[in-house]
Amino acid sequence: MTDLEARYDRIADFYESTIGDRLTDEGTAALLELVGGVGGERVLDLACGHGRISRELARRGGRVVGVDLSQALLEKARLAGSAPPGTVDYRLGSAADPQLELGQTFDTVVCNYGLTDIDDLAGTLANVTRLLRPGGRFVYSMLHPCFPGWGPDAPSSWPVDGGYYREGWWLGTNPGFRGKVGANHRMLSTYLNLLTEQGLVLDRVVEPRPGPDWEQRLPGGTPVPVFLAVRCIRR
């Protein structure tokens, strides 16, 4: 068992109870809007967790393969079943593993809030390009790399003692995900440059407003970007 796999196996119950099947948070909603229709498409959900995005894409008619390295989360995904009219096939594997073979190429690859959890971003994006058909789309969402955070329940994208320009993995001190499994902070430019290096062309970037629940807690009442969603096309 890898350290990253163990991190998520240990918190599988917390993960499921905290995230549930909600699809209305601003980052997820932006991702699904950028994905659009997937009826009859082959769709890969990288870092699928307990399968909430996989099931929604199946509801939209996609033939979905969900990949995650946490056996505990995949067990929860399988217990939840599929979501006709599409199908979901859950596989154990690492998004960054160069030996990851799924027996097909895909029309669409998605990754919802997963890239900051993955230590090897370059390897993951290389797999996205390898597994995506030419002209296919890669859509991801994440906590905005520039989000400065506030308070214990809305931590920054980077450690307080590090700052935006210091990249790397860090473990928070809050009771949420960053305090339980940590995250990889990377500058926005790092994400965009690696996409280009791996043959992915930027097609659309969305920075949705955080929504009233977030904005009412913002220091000074001034909205800042909290979420980011990006769509790329494979050359």
- What is residue 30's predicted lDDT score, i.e. its pLDDT? 98
User: How far apart are the C-alpha atoms of 144 and 188, rounded to whole Å?
Assistant: 8
Residue 90 has a CB neighbour count (10 Å cut-off) of 22
Query: Model pTM?
Result: 0.94
Nearest-5° Cα angle at 208, 205 to 209: 150
Q: Contact, 64 vs 86, CB < 8 A?
A: yes
User: How far apart are the C-alpha atoms of 152 and 155, rounded to whole Å?
Assistant: 6
- What is residue 1's predicted lDDT score, i.e. its pLDDT? 47
- In order of 94, 95, 122, 140, 179, the CA distances from 32 in angstroms are 23, 20, 24, 9, 27
Q: Contact, 231 vs 139, CB < 8 A?
A: yes
* Tens-binned pLDDT, residue by residue, of the chain (235 aa): 456 667 889 999 998 999 999 999 999 999 999 999 999 999 999 999 999 999 999 999 999 999 999 999 999 999 998 789 999 999 999 999 999 999 999 999 999 999 999 999 999 999 999 999 999 999 999 999 999 887 666 678 988 888 999 999 999 888 888 888 999 999 999 999 999 999 999 999 999 988 887 777 776 667 788 999 999 999 9
165 CB-near residues (< 8 Å, 6+ apart): 187
